[in-house]
Amino acid sequence: MKIVKKIGALRKALESPRCQGRCIGFVPTMGALHCGHLSLVHRAKKENDIVVVSIFVNPTQFGPHEDFVHYPRNLKKDTKILKGSCDYLFVPDVREMYAQGFRTRVEVGGLGELLCGRTRKGHFTGVATVVAKLFSIVLPQTAYFGQKDAQQAVIIKKMVTDLNIPVKTIVCPTVREKDGLAMSSRNAYLSEGERRDAVVLFQALKSAQRLVDSGVRESARIISVLNDFITRTVSARVEYIAIVDEASLSTLEKIERRALLLLAVTVGKTRLIDNMILKIKVSGNR
């Protein structure tokens, strides 16, 4: 695995494999790597000749009162974790990605203002801008994202379509801890007690599916039950619970087909997100 810090050097290194027709798979990350990230890297390895992973804590996707400064960074540990799993690790610094005078941004419209975008103003513009830049630096055939960040995945897919970017995007399943907590770099912020409490997100998602299984179809009723359930955990504060169409992210009043249930919950001071597809089970022959 080669560690590359400069855009020019990465482009040069990828030139010859690209000319030889070798497939390049790309996994953008912000580091503090865990098994969730690795699942994307392994999938990329399986499906491509060359795998590029980027680690870049992107300042433009953090709000002024968010955790950009404190976001966990440990390149040495990340390098060890990735060894043998990827060919190039791209670790540009902020100046390399955003030269002085940088102005251009990718506006994602309404999709970026819903759900997480309500409290994280400008977050998805920052995400789309950096992903567009990384795509044009790496020029991969395929890029891999996690379902854990469902809204992000929808927005990237829309950006790729709208801007005719020739990159196929694959969304991989959420990897969870044994108790169901979705793996996340931010889980490191949780105290021992908060870590125990954080499982409430997954428990809430599962109880929603049980409600659907028992015949409940009204989103408002499910959201209300989940809200009560989560707020019974003293350290947990609900930011939003939403049931939406998985492609358009538009609100679903009733669950009549597959629906995406999303949660944002702050546990202690740590904001966590998770989601699950709610399915209506087709009953067998009677």
Structure-token pair, residue 77: 């540990």
Residue 37 annotated to the active site? yes
Structure-token pair, residue 188: 């490191």
Annotate 215-252 with DSSP letters as a single string. T--BHHHHHHHHHHHHHTSTTEEEEEEEEE-TTT--B-
Q: Which stretch binds ligand AMP (CB under 6 A): 29-37, 65-73, 231-239, 248-256?
A: 29-37
Task: Point out which residues pair with 51 in neighbouring strands.
Answer: 25
Cα–Cα dist 164/266, whole Å: 37
The residue (of 142 and 219) whose beta carbon lies closer to ligand AMP is 142
> Beta strand pairing status for 50-55 and 168-172?
unpaired
Using CB under 6 A as the binding rule, whether residue 185 contacts ligand AMP is answered as yes
Helix (H) or strand (E) holding 70: none
Using CB under 6 A as the binding rule, whether residue 190 contacts ligand AMP is answered as no
Among 7, 14, 26, 37, binds ligand AMP (CB under 6 A): 37
Structure-token pair, residue 243: 């049931």
Cα–Cα dist 194/21, whole Å: 49
Q: Which stretch binds ligand AMP (CB under 6 A): 87-95, 100-108, 174-182, 237-245?
A: 174-182
Among 111, 114, 182, 252, binds ligand AMP (CB under 6 A): 182
Using CB under 6 A as the binding rule, whether residue 129 contacts ligand AMP is answered as no
Using CB under 6 A as the binding rule, whether residue 78 contacts ligand AMP is answered as no
Determine how many CB atoms are found less than 10 A away from the CB of residue 57.
Answer: 18
The residue (of 39 and 219) whose beta carbon lies closer to ligand AMP is 39
Among 24, 25, 36, 130, binds ligand AMP (CB under 6 A): 36
Among 145, 195, 255, 261, binds ligand AMP (CB under 6 A): 145
Cα–Cα dist 191/210, whole Å: 30
Q: How far is the CB of 71 from ligand AMP (least distance, A)?
A: 9
* Contacts to ligand AMP by CB under 6 A: 29-30, 36-37, 39-40, 145-146, 148-149, 172, 174-175, 182-185
Q: Which residues are catalytic?
A: 37
